[in-house]
Amino acid sequence: MTGRTYEVRTYGCQMNVHDSERLAGLLEDAGYRQPVDGADPDVVVFNTCAVRENADNRLYGNLGQLVPVKKAHPGMQIAVGGCLAQKDQATILDRAPWVDVVFGTHNIGSLPTLLERARVEQESQVELLEALAVFPSTLPTRRESAYRAWVSVSVGCNNTCTFCIVPSLRGKERDRRPGDILREVEMLVADGVLEVTLLGQNVNSYGVEFGDTRAFGKLLRACGDVGGLERVRFTSPHPRDFTDDVIEAMAETDNVMPSLHMPLQSGSDRVLKEMRRSYRADKFLGIIERVRAAMPSAAITTDVIVGFPGETEDDFAQTLDVVRAARFAGAFTFQYSKRPGTPAADLPGQVPSDVVAQRYERLVAVVEDVAWEQNKTAVGTPVEVLVAEGEGRKDRATHRLSGRARDNRLVHLAPCDARPGDVVEACVTYAAPHHLVADQIVAVRRTRGGDAWQSSQETAPVTGVPLGMPAMRPA
């Protein structure tokens, strides 16, 4: 098996991206390597998402494209994991019998063993557990970035949003112990990481499993004591569980960034009730008001769904009103589509697709107008940018660099000698709806993160975090 090559194809949320880093680490720990440019891999792993209605069509279309490749490549294996695998299970082999391995969200650590078993027995292997046995952060990792890292604080979800299938696929919320999380953060920092993003499906309900409702605020403050850790972010919080102690921890902890991504989904109280989102527009706006009072420079982003079953023109207008009132720096906007297996899929009043599309265009226009107005206020102000590799648009003619400001806004920089992972201080000279331009470079600070990136160009080590088997909880 040593010397075989692999490719992981990822669909979906940040949790899937983080899982894919674990899958890559597991495979490299088992002797697999990434293929040279242009070569077909010996193993293709699909880490799937089941959130969107057409997720299965996308998967099976991609699987179909691999049939002739596999026939021309004796010994090639295909594995399907993630949320869609957990949902469809053995159905995948009925529709795509050329798949060699199917595994779920609770047993990503089994992938190397399942691949070897399928290879030896010349028979497809299906293994899906109904509950998590080992927290994924105990597994080896091949990180995508040398200077930024994801850190899971929880897996699963206890919410029952009618449009979401995640709880049935990733299970009930399981919490890691704070000591295990901080030990992972410290090891990442020792490895050159400057920025960590704490991950959970409902990150600010962290602590529910071990009975501490203020655990997430305490965790943010504890991250502030990790020497060398320059930036801490988190995603995604639920408005229901967003408490003032978290706002205070954000404002009072120097390395916790003044950025917040908090899903709104709808500005209509009636639609929020149908979605089983346990807050209303006034509560949402109240949280934003308190965040801005504590951190006036905070950039706030959100998620919005257009065309939820039963949404009227008045409901949609209320959403636009909240978007304007919240002054979002940006938003991930979605046209509602049926998620098989969710209560909303069977609700009456499904909105015609042409109406959904028209409302979506109107929403995007308002979001962009609001974001542009927010970005214009940054012109002439200083900005600290963590330079990133492959972040946003690249202008080959001007050789601009790109990265993220402390408030997570995308910034394009004038050419300078910074490396990915270094920090640039600059002055904002131009604002667009989705990015800032900072052509006045003030200073470039070489960092451990830049050193780590430079080293990673020569070798991409697999890092393991020996945390034993910590307690688990929702994502």
Q: Report yes or no: 147 and 390 within 8 Å, Cβ to Cβ.
A: no
Please, what is the average pLDDT of the chain?
89
d(CA 173, CA 302): 22
119-128 pLDDT per residue, tens: 999 999 998 8
Q: Report yes or no: 195 and 147 within 8 Å, Cβ to Cβ.
A: yes
Domains in the chain, CATH or no CATH each: 6-127 (3.40.50.12160), 136-376 (3.80.30.20), 382-446 (2.40.50)
Q: Report yes or no: 200 and 227 within 8 Å, Cβ to Cβ.
A: no
Q: What is the pLDDT of residue 89?
A: 78
Q: What is the pLDDT of residue 471?
A: 30
Of 19 and 272, which is predicted with more confidence?
272
- Report the pLDDT averaged over residues 220-229: 98
Q: What is the DSSP letter of 66?
A: T
Question: Going by DSSP bridges, is the β-strand pair 401-405/77-82 parallel, antiparallel, or unpaired?
Answer: unpaired
Is it the case that residue 468 has pLDDT exceeding 50? no
Reduce the DSSP state of residue 203 to 3 states and report it.
helix
Instruction: Provide the pLDDT confidence category of residue 420 given band limits of 50, 70 and 90.
Output: very high
Q: Report yes or no: 92 and 127 within 8 Å, Cβ to Cβ.
A: no
Is it the case that residue 460 has pLDDT exceeding 60? no
173-213 pLDDT per residue, tens: 889 999 999 999 999 999 999 999 999 889 999 999 999 99
Residues with Cβ within 8 Å of 76's Cβ and at least 6 positions away in sequence, in order, are 40, 41, 42, 43, 44, 69, 70
405-419 pLDDT per residue, tens: 999 999 999 999 999
CA 356 from centre of chain: 26
Q: Report yes or no: 403 and 411 within 8 Å, Cβ to Cβ.
A: yes
Instruction: Provide the pLDDT confidence category of residue 395 given band limits of 50, 70 and 90.
Output: low
Question: Going by DSSP bridges, is the β-strand pair 330-335/299-306 parallel, antiparallel, or unpaired?
Answer: parallel
Instruction: Provide the pLDDT confidence category of residue 461 given band limits of 50, 70 and 90.
Output: very low
Q: What is the pLDDT of residue 85?
A: 84
Q: Report yes or no: 384 and 405 within 8 Å, Cβ to Cβ.
A: yes
Q: What is the pLDDT of residue 399?
A: 80
pTM: 0.85
Of 194 and 91, which is predicted with more confidence?
194
Task: Dump the DSSP string for 79-107.
Answer: EEEEHHHHHHTTHHHHH-TT--EEE-TT-
Of 474 and 145, which is predicted with more confidence?
145
Percentage of the chain beyond pLDDT 90 is: 70
d(CA 304, CA 320): 10
Amino acid at 467: L
32-84 pLDDT per residue, tens: 999 988 788 999 999 988 766 667 778 889 899 999 999 999 999 999 998 88
Instruction: Provide the pLDDT confidence category of residue 390 given band limits of 50, 70 and 90.
Output: confident
